[in-house]
Each structure stands twice: as C-alpha cells, then as structure tokens.
Amino acid sequence: MKLIYKNIRLLVCFTLLLLLGSCDDFEEMNQNPTKSTQMDPNLMLPTIQLQLSGGMYEQWRNGFIYSGDWMQQWTGEYATTEFGGKGQKNDAYMSALWDTQYPREVKNITDMVARTTGDPAQVNINAVARIMKVYIFSRLTDLYGDIPYFEAGKGYYEGVLAPKYDSQRDIYYDFFTELSEATQALNSANDPITQDFYFNGDITKWKKFGNSLRLRLAMRLTKVEPDKAKTEAEAAIAGGVMDSNNDMAVMRHINVPFGGDVYGGNGTSYVFMSTSPAESSYRMATPFVDYLEKTGDPRLTIFGRAYLKDEARTDVTSQVRTKLGSYVAMSLPVSTFSYEATGAAIKVDVNGEQTDVTPILQKLQPSKFISAIDAPYIIMSYAEVELWMAEVAARGWNAGITAQEHFNKALEAGVKQMTVYGVPEVSQAAINTFVTANPLVTGKELEQINTQLWVNFALNAQEGYANWRRSGFPNLTYRNRDPAVNQSNGQVPRRMQYPVNEYLLNATNVQAAAARIPGGADVWTARVWWDK
Amino acid sequence: MKTNFTLLKKWTTVIIMMLTIVYYRAEAQTTVVNGQCLSSEDNSPIPGATVLIKGTSSGTVTDLNGRFSISASSNDVLILSFIGFVSQEVPVGNHSVINIALVPDVKALSEVVVTALGIKRDAKALGYAISQVGGNELATAKEINVINSLSGKVAGVDISTSTAGPSGSSRVIIRGNSELSGNNQPLYIIDGVPMDNTQAGGAGMWGGYDLGDGLSSLNPDDIESVSVLKGASAAALYGSRASNGVIMITTKSGVKQKGIGVEFTSNYTAEKVLSRFDDYQKVYGQGRDGLLPMENNNNNTQSAWGPQLDPNLTLQIYNGETKPYGLVNDNILSFFRTGSTLTNNIAFSGGTDNATVRVSVSDMRNKDIVPNTGMGRNTFLINSSMKLGSKITVNGKVNYIAEKVDNRPALSDNPNNVGLAIIGIAPNFDQRWLAEGYKDAYGRYVDWNGNTYRINPYWSTNDMTNTSRRNRVIGFLQMNYDFTKWLSFQLRGGTDYYDFRYTNFMPKGTPLWETGALQEQTNHIAENNYEGLLKFNKEISEDFFLSAFAGGNIMHRRAEFQTNTGSGIVLEGIEAITNFTTQSNDYNLVRKQINSLYGAVQTGYKDTYFLDATIRNDWTSTLSKGNNSYYYPSVSGSFVFSNLINKNTPLSFGKVRASWAEVGGDTDPYQLSLTYGLKTFSLLGKPLGEIANTSVPNLQLKPTRTYSYEFGTDLRFLQNRIQLDLTYYSKKTTDQILPLIIPATSGYNTAIINAGEITNKGVELMLKGSIIASPRFSWDIIGNFARNINQVVKLHEQVKEYTLANARWAGAAVMAQEGETFGTIVGKKLLRDPNGNVIHTAAGLPMFGSEQEILGKGTYDWTSGITNVIAYKGFRLSALVDMKVGADVYSMSSAIAHTNGSSTETLEGRAGWYTSEEARLAAGVSPADWQPTGGYVGQGVVNVGTAENPVYETNTAFVNPQSYWGTFLSNSPEPFIYDATYAKLRELTFGYTFPSALFSKTPIQGASISFVGRNLFILYSNLPNIDPESSYNNGNGQGLEYGSIPSRRSFGVNFSVRF
C-alpha cells in the first residue's frame, strides 16, 4: 500500500513538473516566429507603391471597364463593352478599388503615419506617408464621393470597426492641410527615405510631388469652390512643383505573370494582355486615334500599333496604315467588342511574304512598349503639372508664366516622357512641329488643355474620368449601345456606388452618407461634391 | 552425450505428441448437433438466440421453438447467447443433443460501448446518447474516405462530400452548426489518440482544389468500430475540440483464435457518372443573337444563342477545321470515363494468453471518372498488446499510411475546372473536337473560346498536372500498471505525424500562366499527446459500484507550412522550382499547446441508477495570461426503470437519461498582437514590408463556452424486437472567438472578438424493428431521423451579419445573420409589386432590389436514413436510403446555363425575336426605333405610373431572351435557388456467406462475397443537371454549387476469406 502512494506521489509530481515547466513558455510559443512586432516604416513604403499600380483587378474594373470605356480611349475587351459600354452595373466592378485599397494601402499608410507622428527621428518618413495617404484617399473620394477618411484604417489603433463617412469637402480641406504640412516638414537634413521606388529617397522630389498633388487636387475644386481652388493652386505652385521630366513620379515593375504569388507587374499591362500574350484584348478607340491624328501627335504610334497574332507580335502598323489610308481607319468605334471589327481582310507584305491581316488585327492594339508587363507606371507626370499650370494661367490666376508657355512645355514633356517606356526618343524637330501646330486658341484654352490632360491620362483612366467630370472636356458622346439593358439613363455615370458590403456591415454610416448624395440615393448617376 | 540423447528423446516425444494432437484435431469427428434453447425462468423456448462455434464466426440462430441444428466437431465449444440473457458455453464432446437453459442477465442489455478516453462502458449506464457502428458496416460497400460510409446510418450526423470525388474531403456535422469561425467538425480520436483532420486546402468562390482531409488515410478494413459521441457531455473530457462531437475509431487488434489467423479481402468497384444532364436545350447552337458565328471567331463556343441547329450548316471551329452545325448527343458524359477502385487487404492476427498482435497491409488504387485523375493508398498497421508479469500491460500501435493523388480536379471558378468548361459547351459543339488540335505543332496552347478563364479541358487534364503525397504515422505506446485489482495507472504517448506535399504545375502557354508556373506546398504536421490516468474501479458493496479516474494530458501541436511558387519556366519539361526565373517563398510555423487536468466519477446503484460527473481544466498557449486557464464540468445520469416493473409486460427494457455539460474552448495561435512581416518576394531588390494581420488582433480574448443538455430514452419491446431510442438536446455556444467580418474601411477584413451566441436544439430518433426473425429468414428495418433547429441568437452590437461564404456570381452570399438560422443564402431579389408579380422595365427586363435579402438556406431541416436488411440462410440483402430535406442551393451552373442559352428554359421567345430582328435589319432600323414583333415576354408587370404612385400593368414587352437571361448573373441569384432536398439509394449490398461446412476439409475458416453499390440512384431531386450533393468545398458556407464535376455512382464486388 505504501508503495502505491509513493508511486502516485511521484506521478503527480512528474505531471505537475511537465505542466508548470511548459506554462512558462506559453507566451513565447504564441509569438509567431516568422513575424515581428516592430517594423521600420520605410520597409512598408515600397509595398504601398507597388500595390498602387500593380493590381490587375482594380485597374481593370474601375480603370478600364468603367472609367476607361467612358473615356473612349480603349475598347474591344468583353467586360469593358458589356458593362461600361452598355452602362450595366456590377457590384464587384464598382467596388474593386475600395475593396483593395482600404484593407491594404489604407491600413498600412495609417499605421505608418500613426507610428511616426511626433517622432523627431522620423520626420521625413512621416511626411512621405502623409503625402501617400492623400494620394490614396484622393483616388477613393474622387470615385465614390463621401468616404470614411478620418476614422478609416483605425480598426487597430482606435478600435473603430465601423468608420463613419466624411464629407468630401472636409476630406479635401484636410488633404490641403496634410500636403501643406508634409511638404513643409520635409528636410534633407533629417531621416533618409531608404526604400523608395518613386524618387529613390530624394527629399526635394518628394516636396515637388507633394505640391504637384496639391495642385491637381486644387484644380478639382474649380467648379464647386473656385476661390479655394485658386488659393490652393497658387500656394502649391509657390511651394515648388515638378519642373522637368526628371521629377515625375514613376513606379517600376517587373515581368512576372499575374495570378502567382509574385505580382510585380504593371496592372495596366496585365489588363491589356489578359487574354493572350500574342494579342491584346483592347484596341484604340476612334475618338482617341482621331484626336491624336488630327493634332499630329507623335505619341499616336507609341500608344498603339497593329500586330499579327503570333508569338513575336510582328508589327504591321505601317503596312496596314498604307493600305487603309489613315490611323482612324485602324481604330475601333467606342464600346465595341473586338470581334465586331468590320472590314475585309487585307494582304500585307511581312518580310517579303504576303500575309493575311484580318479586320480585328488591323486595329491598333496597345503597343508592346506600354503593354509590357514590366512597363513603368506613371503616377504623376511633369506634363500633367504643366497642363494644370496652363489652366491656372488661363483662368487668370498666378502661374508664373503664361498659359501658352505652360502648354508648350506640357506638349513637349508629354512626348518626351514616353521614353520611360523604352521608346526611342522622338526628334526635337518633330516635337517642335507638333507643339507649333497646336497653339492655344483664344476661347478654347480650357478645352485644349483638358483634352491634353485626357491624352496624358490615357493609361490612367480613373484620373482622366475625374478630370472629365470636372472640366467637361473632351466633349464625348456616350454610345449607349444597348438601351434595353442600360442602367445609367443613357448617360455616362458620375460616380461609383458604395460597396454592397458596406450596406451589410456598416449600414448606419453608409446610409447616412447615401442620404447626403444629391437626390438622396446611392446611385451612380448622382454627382460627387466637387462635380457640382 | 547420454543426457543429450535423453533430451532429444524427450523432445521427440513432445513433438510426436503435438503432432498426434494436431492429427487428432484434424480428424475430430464432425457431427450434427441438435438442441433447444430455453429460458431458465419459465422454460419457454427462446427464438432467435445465437448459436456460435467458439473462435469462429460460423453458427446459426434458434427457430421459433428455440430449436437449432449445427455441424460441429467434438472438440468445438458452442456459445449460446441472446440479448437479456447470460451467454453460455457448452463443449460439444460426443453429445448429439444439447439443450440449454439460459439464465436471464440481471445486467440486461450488456452492450459495451467505447466512451471518451477509450473507457468501455455498459451502454445502459450512460446518461447521454452514443452511437456505435461496426467496422463491417463500413468495409463492405467501401468508400475511399471511410467516414462517408456513415452517411445515413447515425441519427444527427450529417455528412456531405465535395464534387472533387474520392480524393476530396468530407464535411461531418453533428447536431448542427455551432461555430462561426471554426469548421464545426467533430474531433477524431483513433485508438485514444487525436487525429488531425485539417484540410490542406479547399476551393473557394474563385476556385481551388480540394486537397483532402485526414480521414482518407484510414483503411476501412482495419476498423473495428466507430463510436459517435454526439453531445458535449459525452465529449467533455476531450476538451474544447470536442464541442462539435467526437468520432472515436477503434482499430482491430489481435485475438486468440482458431486457424492461422489470416483474413484476405478484395474489393472492386466501377464508378460511373450519376448526375443526369437533363436540362439542356437541343434546338439552338453556338453563336449570339441567333446568328451563326463569324469566321475566326471562337468567342462563343460556350454561348448557345446561335441559330437553329441544322446538320447541313457548317462552321469553322477554333482549330480551323470545318464542322457540321448539328446536335451532339451525350456531349457532357462522353468526356468522363468509367472509374474504378480496387482494394486488397490482408491481415494476420493471433494471440496467446499474454500477448496479441494484428498486422495488416492494404493497397487501394482508384481511377476517377475525370481522366488522368486517380488516387492510391497503402496502409500498414501493427497493433499489439503484451502482458509483462501480472501487473504490467504494454500496448503499442503503429499505423503507416502512404497516399498519393494524381491530378486533383480543379473546382469552382478555377480556369481549369473541367466541369465549367464541359457543361458550358454549345449543343452543336462536340466536346471531342476540343481534343483535336488544342495544341499547335509546337505544343503550344490554342485558344478555343476567347476566354482565358476557361481552359480547354483536354489541356487541363493532359498538360496541367498536380500531385499530392501524404505520408503519415499514427501510433501510440501505452503502459498500464495494476496496483491492485481496483486501482491502476495508465501512461500513454500518442502521435499523429504526417508530411504532405503538393505540387501544381502549369506548363508554358497555359492561359493566365503563359510563362509556365509551379506551386509547391509542403506541410509537416505533428500532434503529440501525453497522458497519465489513474483509474479506480470498485464494487463497494453488491449494490453499489464506484469508478473514478483522474489524469492529465499535454497536447502539443506543431505545424510547418512551406510554399514555393515559381513562374517563368526555363527548361521545358522540368517541373522543379529551381527551373523558374521568378520565385517566391513562404514559410509558416504554427505552435500550440494545451495542458489539461481532468477527473471523473461514475457510480451505479443496483444496476438501475447511474450517475456520472466529470471536470476538466485547460491551460492554453493561445490566450493571454489571466484568460488562458478555464475549467468546465459535466454531469449525467440514467435510470433503468424497467428493472422496477413487471417483467411480463411487452417492455423488455426501458431507460431514461439526462445530462448537462459545459465545455470551454480556446482559439488558433497568434491572434493577440499586431505583427509585421515581409511579402514572400521582393521587388527589384527592395523588401516589401506590411502589417501581417488581416484581422484586428485582440489581447483580451476570453475562452469560448458551450453549454448543452440532453435527455432521452431507450425503450425495447417484445423481447427487444422493437427498439426505440429518442433524444432531445439543446446546445448553446457563446463568447465565440471569431474573426468578425468588419467593413474594409476599418483597414482590416475582420476583427478577432468574443461574440455571438448560437443555439442548436433538436431531436434524434432511432427505431429498429425485426419484422421477421426466424432462424432462416429475417427482415430488419432500421430507421433514424434527426431534426435540428438552429438559431444565430446574437452576433455583435456593431455588426449583425457574418459572411460564411461568398458566391462567385450575382453578389450572393451565405451568411449567419442575427435572428436567423445559420447559413442563409442572401442576394438581391427580383422587384415585385404588392401582388408578388415581378416588375419589369419599360423595355421588358426584370428589375432588381438593391438590398441583400434572404433567398434560402444552406442547411437541412431534417435528415433521415432507412436501412432494410433481409437475411435468408447465408444471403443478406441490405439497402440504405438516405434523405435530407429542407436546404436550398444556389446553382451557379444553372445560372450560367441560362446566361449561355443552354438551359431549356431559354428556348421561349427565341424564334419570335430572331424573326423580328430579321425584319428590323431588312428595314434598316436601329434598335431604339424598332418595335419588336416577337421575343421573350417576362412574366409579371410593368410600372406605367410614377415611382411614387405606381400603376402596374401586365408586361407585354418583347425582349431578346439572351438579354433577359443575361441580366441575372450580375444582379440576382433568385431564379437559380433550388430546393436541395434529395433522397438517394446510398448503399446496397447483397452478400452471401458460404456455409462453413463447405470448407471443412480446407484451411479456410469462412468466406463471403458481396455485390455492393454506393450512391446508385437519386430517388428524388429538384435540381436540374446537378446532383444536389455538389458542394465545391466543405466550409461553413454551404448552399453554393458551381461548375460541378458530375457525381459518381459505384458498384462492384467485395470478397473476403479467412484462414
């Protein structure tokens, strides 16, 4: 009996030892060994920069299908015509940007700002984060109107699980404060920006980018609050904006297929080449080709070229151009499925062989330069800034020099910037011819400037769509190709509706925002605040 | 030398004696023994009693007069047994007549069942429901994944499979869904050791592969019995993982037996498509707007909106060939092949008084109906036990399993889902044409439909390959030490370790992966359990029985996941990660430990009153200090009231039982703090850092709680010929730890919180009747029924809905919504006037609401199974009909069939519209200015008033049916939500056991042959084309079907022989 109790005591002791011995390790055991509780915010910047231009779906859905079809530069692809061209709503397409940016870019940029605010050793990275924050939110609010801003992305920091929606006016006013403070805070003597793709850590260029962004956003307000627009635009210019193509904000990409775990490619190119590496599903739309051809723009054949459908994408642009007589004949009408390309097959000479070119291949596809998966993505160009300044001057506000001077610089820079795609330089003589041939015409300045902005945004349809809504230029006619299924009163919609998920998960706040929309309903034909 | 000689002589004598015995045994006289079996109480005959020759399975049953007749050898021992009586053993000797009086068993109904921690209990002592299924019920009509064989056999256990087929996973739900975030599946315990049943991967709304689960590793022929512990009380000792029930599997072990102890089983089945594709129109072919496709346009291979089929017309297909435009019959079925499964199993077993051992080896090879898809499995099992002296017993088990699956089918929206490609093909397009020239002369992919998201199925099955292998060891080592007769100690260490490797290769030219890609996934998963148990077991007095145990367990789980992906293949044909230009690497390590102490007391009084109580305390590594220790009790009791009433009533046995239990639970590791990590790749030399959490972490998490109670009764009438088992249960799970889906605007997709309350209440009924019970002929009917009522009582103050799954099309989702049942299917509804008529636009298209509304639910109201067993002499016919009633399913296959114009419903209005269009084009009028003369007229109304003051008139507008049916895919799932109720002939076996007399001169002990069939017929279904059992995953969001691979029926033969 004694032996039994002795044995039991031994066992109990042994068991307790095991239990207690391992209890101490519990906290360490519950710490993921592959993750850290700390991270230098500098390491998070390149991720945000990549994701802003490297995602395929938001570029496709909000970029090409909706904004893109309506801006009439590219057409042919199925969903673009079926949804954008017919004006049919698709919840997932409308909410694509929202669905990707909030839980990704907004979350990380909020964290970067929160952890660097007030830290004298992180002044520059804080300023950079604030500029990026404005950039991210500006694309969101321009598309949807009132959005969660002040409380957004604070699920962890402030425990806000269901953020309220802020008015676009408040958001814009805060943009200007943020940009003004951030650009002033930037100082080359302070902490270095170590992992930056856009400017390689150049603080001066960040300053110019911040002010240029402020200028872009200031110009959004010309319809709704011209005085504020003027104040902010002039302040931005005074603060120092981009003044050469060297100042452009450009994201670099690599050639990896989409869909894998590595997605370093250019989102626009993923969309262009989504069907086959041998043929883009997009074609240049008639209004775009027509305008470039009429203005003698050297960029026409940089944007678009005709290719055979073979592995090499053999270039037949000049042969087809000769047969058809014009580039416009090589374009596809707006909101058209590519298989609806009409005309007869032609035979052209390819390396001495007579080769059939079907109508669909006679149309200009996005060129190999701009549709390469590793093509760079222009976040903001110097040419754009010159065009804003041209408008500032044209409106009689202070932009240093005249509208014409700015416009000339913009055209020249606009052509020259295409070299970022690896395109051979266009000769200065050709550029001069183009610039001289397109002077500003009195009374038509705003139309000319904003149509050039439209060209500038040919690969960034969302910005083009925002500026078209503000300026009304170029004057585009919506094709409304199938009135029976159209859900936009036969007009180009003016915004994207809020995601269905918000109605499920954040009903009170989204309903309050919807009630503020002119007409009181969350419809895509209603206008955002600055689009009075 | 002399001594040696003597010794030799001695040995020789021994050997000769042994040989003589053997000879004598072999020559033992076989005689026919006749006899009668009576009750010792009143000398009444006992019909239906079993007469068995000890150590064999040959035997007979007594007739209505209790008489029997059996061939036996003089050295055989007969065992006579009957429920409610004490079994008796009678040596045959030289008797030719044996009359036996059986003594009633005071411990009536000595049904021994295996309960938690492997403790064997008398079923009548239990205060909760437990169901046990014998191994042979699972091994005859085999399923590769053995758990599927339980379908329809146990009340309240709802089993569903994915359309991935034999290699896929199963979803097992006991007493309803109670968790939002977990998988709601039971804990599996194999011979006392928990088995990891996590899925390596499944398909979601955008596609994926079902990478199978742990249960597919088990060899059905090794299973002795399966116990299902349904309620929390039964499972309370297993801790939180058991709150969804426990399925305890006991494998066969060695026994002392006659013969050399070899059993060989062979099973062959053929698999054929079960789904019928009966809702495909056969009038119109490919094209759009009633027009034949233009040349060089293959965009509409999957669009059946062309002109009327006419074999005299021709069209050029994707590969440049010209083909007739006529109807192709059996177009879908011709793609799939007849599958086959061959299983061979051999087991050796034997034992002495001090040691037993069983060794088995099995080989299973399967070819699925999807070409090039198949699975192989080898299992090796050693189960042994040894007594060391009088006090120590040592048990050990090692089970090694090697599994390989080739080319698991892609599911759901995956571009290479052959189901999606095949079911969408226009009726004129023979799927076989897709095999002709899908690769060009250089082996490159040729586009067939202008849609990179639908890969040519021949490329999918022939050129894209995936392989998965799992090597697994399940085993334990156990020592028992008996201090005294009533006190013993048990120490056990058990492990379940496996590595799983999956590679998925996309050759160069594959749409979306043009440069070629490879994905490699390697998982190493180990769960080790160490347990010590002190057992006390004593009859204090003749009337009072007490047993108790106390113990502790340490559970340690370590899971490593390594994923490498590469794109840009360099040397074609080399499927190695080093052969890719771009690579990304991900590694994850998940660790978790739970330490537990627990104890239980079981008492019995006069074999009539029973009371059990348990308590357990857990310390978990996944919750923070202060919250990580929690205890939970259970109590249960039963009362065998039939012991107190007159024996001469029709009631042979009666018992009531009741139990109450609480179970606490923890969560997954790493949910308490915000962490940062790098992406699995870098870009141009820069690291890509980000917040690693997609959930808002929560340091304050508390353990979750499940409270449950149940009561029930077990009644048997007419000497057990009628058995009724009825249970009512109620279960409430609160403070669930779940990733609450929050608005993306918070920056996170989810927040880890304690929230929610879900209740499940229901009844389970089992009724068994012996309609005929004569010795030669018997007919039993066993029915079970389960009704579960679920309610999501509460979620969270800020968020009232939880998305369980999103559907690929029309914005539909499966939700848990406050106040509703778990798993509602929601989506936008068609707009209707107050009379319920669908409102149309002036143009004649249906209008849709803007809110997500409930359209159905993905969980069944009740499930039922009815088994009929008819036995005549050695023949046995058994049929199981399995029914599930009351769930709905959103069939996206049907939605696509309507959008594509291949459903019969899309025929209406086509001829009229095409005539109208011809006239319009002839007149040169634009669509806006044309008044259509024919077409589809949507049934319903049109608002001719204003939005504020609507006036509804019957809709008469003609529309293009293509436009009409095209509006749903991005707007509303409503027309494609079907009742998923079904009845299936789940299992049919017809077996014959050869009389043992047949083998009396051979070493064969017994042999049987069965013709088996599974899932033979769908007896009832409302779903067009698709088997209602066609989920693409086994997640919580059931009720979605998309691009299903046809379901399979199997039939074949099972042969078994023992030596």
Are B208 and B202 in contact, with CB atoms under 8 Å apart? yes
State yes or no: pLDDT of B371 exceeds 50.
yes
Interface residue of A53, A261, A280 to substitute, partner B, most B CBs within 10 Å: A261
| B574 near A CB under 8 A | no
Look at the block and give the residue holding tokens 């002296």: B389
- CB contacts of B927 in chain A (<8 Å) are 482-484
pLDDT at B137 (0 to 100): 85
CB-nearest to A262 from B512, B621, B681 is B681
Q: What is the mean pLDDT of the segment spanning B817-845? A: 95
Q: pLDDT, tens digit, for every residue of B595-616?
A: 999 999 999 999 899 999 999 9
- CB contacts of B843 in chain A (<8 Å) are 483-485
Distance from CA of B565 to the nearest CA of A (A): 7
SS3 A121: helix
Are B250 and B146 in contact, with CB atoms under 8 Å apart? no
b/e sequence B145-171, b meaning 16+ C-beta within 10 Å: bbbbbbbbbbbbbbbbbbbbbbbbbbb
Residue of A nearest to B489 (CA): A8
Which of A147-151, A223-227, B146-150, B478-482 has the least mean pLDDT? B146-150
Look up residue B20 and give its two tokens.
Answer: 């003589």
**DSSP assignment of B563-618:** EEEEEEESSTT---GGGEEEEEEEEEEEEEEEEEEEEEEEEEETTTEEEEEEEEEE
pLDDT-based confidence at B660, cuts 50/70/90? very high
- Sign of the alpha-carbon torsion through B751, B753, B757, B763: positive
State yes or no: pLDDT of B761 exceeds 60.
yes
Look up residue A189 and give its two tokens.
Answer: 């003597």
pLDDT at B1 (0 to 100): 42
CB-nearest to B567 from A256, A274, A504 is A256
Contact B748/A148, CB-based, under 8 Å?
Answer: no
d(CA A291, CA A302): 14
CB-nearest to A485 from B582, B674, B967 is B967
Residue of A nearest to B487 (CA): A4
Cβ-based contacts under 8 A for chains A and B: 273
State yes or no: pLDDT of B17 exceeds 50.
no
Q: What is the mean pLDDT of the segment spanning A311-340? A: 94
Q: What is the mean pLDDT of the segment spanning A157-165? A: 93
Contact A47/B690, CB-based, under 8 Å?
Answer: yes
d(CA A259, CA A271): 12
Look up residue A19 and give its two tokens.
Answer: 């239990």
| B975 near A CB under 8 A | no
Contact B970/A15, CB-based, under 8 Å?
Answer: no
pLDDT-based confidence at A38, cuts 50/70/90? very high
Is ipTM beyond 0.85? yes
- CB contacts of B563 in chain A (<8 Å) are 261
Are A355 and A323 in contact, with CB atoms under 8 Å apart? no
d(CA A330, CA A321): 7
Q: What percent of chain B has pLDDT over 90?
A: 63
Q: pLDDT, tens digit, for every residue of A398-419?
A: 999 999 999 999 999 999 999 9
Distance from CA of A106 to the nearest CA of B (A): 6
Distance from CA of B1033 to the nearest CA of A (A): 21
d(CA A383, CA A458): 13
Distance from CA of B591 to the nearest CA of A (A): 6
Q: pLDDT, tens digit, for every residue of B224-240?
A: 999 999 887 777 888 87
pLDDT at A336 (0 to 100): 95
Look up residue B848 and give its two tokens.
Answer: 């849709």
Are B613 and B632 in contact, with CB atoms under 8 Å apart? no
pLDDT-based confidence at A313, cuts 50/70/90? very high
| B629 near A CB under 8 A | no
| Distance from the Cα of residue B555 to its chain's centroid | 26
| B970 near A CB under 8 A | yes
- CB contacts of B484 in chain A (<8 Å) are 4
Contact B595/A23, CB-based, under 8 Å?
Answer: yes
More confident site: A203 or A5: A203
Contact A197/B684, CB-based, under 8 Å?
Answer: yes
Contact B567/A260, CB-based, under 8 Å?
Answer: yes
Contact A339/B294, CB-based, under 8 Å?
Answer: yes
Are B455 and B207 in contact, with CB atoms under 8 Å apart? no
- CB contacts of A483 in chain B (<8 Å) are 843, 927-928
Mean pLDDT of chain A: 93
Q: pLDDT, tens digit, for every residue of B308-344?
A: 999 999 988 888 889 999 999 888 889 999 999 999 9
Contact A276/B452, CB-based, under 8 Å?
Answer: yes
pLDDT-based confidence at B78, cuts 50/70/90? confident
Are A348 and A320 in contact, with CB atoms under 8 Å apart? yes
**DSSP assignment of A3-42:** HHHHHHHHHHHHHHHHHHHHHTTHHHHTS-TT-BS---GG
- How many residues belong to chain A? 532
Q: What percent of chain A has pLDDT over 70?
A: 95
State yes or no: pLDDT of B982 exceeds 90.
yes
Q: pLDDT, tens digit, for every residue of B791-806?
A: 999 988 877 888 899 9
- CB contacts of B679 in chain A (<8 Å) are 47
Interface of B with A in 1012-1041 (CB under 8 A): none
The whole-model pTM stands at 0.83
| B294 near A CB under 8 A | yes
Which of A513-522, B253-262, B693-702, B930-939 has the least mean pLDDT? B253-262
Which of A204-213, A260-269, B428-437 has the least mean pLDDT? A260-269
Number of Cβ atoms within 10 Å of the Cβ of A62: 25
Look up residue B489 and give its two tokens.
Answer: 């100690």
Contact B742/A161, CB-based, under 8 Å?
Answer: yes
pLDDT at B258 (0 to 100): 66
State yes or no: pLDDT of B8 exceeds 70.
no
Q: What is the mean pLDDT of the segment spanning A42-68? A: 95
Distance from CA of B917 to the nearest CA of A (A): 14
SS3 B15: helix
pLDDT at A357 (0 to 100): 94
CB-nearest to A484 from B567, B628, B963 is B963
Mean pLDDT of chain B: 89
Residues 6+ apart with CB under 8 A from B494: B191, B192, B193, B194, B474, B475, B476, B477, B528, B529, B531
Q: What is the mean pLDDT of the segment spanning B173-177? A: 92
Q: pLDDT, tens digit, for every residue of B36-51?
A: 887 766 666 776 677 8
CB-nearest to A260 from B296, B565, B586 is B565
**Class of residue B354 by CB neighbours under 10 A (exposed 0-12, middle 13-18, buried 19+):** exposed
Residue of B nearest to A506 (CA): B743
Look up residue B791 and give its two tokens.
Answer: 């309610």
State yes or no: pLDDT of B27 exceeds 60.
no
CB-nearest to B799 from A34, A276, A505 is A505
- CB contacts of B296 in chain A (<8 Å) are 358, 360
- B757, amino acid identity: E
Contact B683/A500, CB-based, under 8 Å?
Answer: no
Name the nearest CA neighbour of B1036 among B199, B231, B246, B171.
B171
Q: pLDDT, tens digit, for every residue of B539-574?
A: 888 889 899 999 999 999 999 999 999 988 999 889
Residues 6+ apart with CB under 8 A from A262: A256, B565, B567, B582, B583, B584, B680, B681
SS3 B783: strand
State yes or no: pLDDT of B502 exceeds 60.
yes
Q: What share of chain A is helix, strand, coil (3-state, %, to 5)?
A: 55, 5, 40
Are B166 and B375 in contact, with CB atoms under 8 Å apart? yes
pLDDT at A179 (0 to 100): 98
pLDDT-based confidence at A453, cuts 50/70/90? very high
Are B564 and B621 in contact, with CB atoms under 8 Å apart? no
Contact A103/B694, CB-based, under 8 Å?
Answer: yes
| B670 near A CB under 8 A | yes
- CB contacts of A36 in chain B (<8 Å) are 675-677
- B608, amino acid identity: T
**Class of residue B44 by CB neighbours under 10 A (exposed 0-12, middle 13-18, buried 19+):** exposed
Look at the block and give the residue holding tokens 């739970």: B594
Name the nearest CA neighbour of B499 among B396, B617, B403, B432.
B403
Q: What is the mean pLDDT of the segment spanning A283-289? A: 98
Q: What is the mean pLDDT of the segment spanning B180-193? A: 90
More confident site: B416 or B645: B416
What is the 8-class DSSP label of residue B108?
-
End-to-end CA distance of chain A: 94
pLDDT-based confidence at B24, cuts 50/70/90? very low
pLDDT at A487 (0 to 100): 92
State yes or no: pLDDT of B253 exceeds 80.
yes
Contact B747/A339, CB-based, under 8 Å?
Answer: no
| Distance from the Cα of residue B114 to its chain's centroid | 22
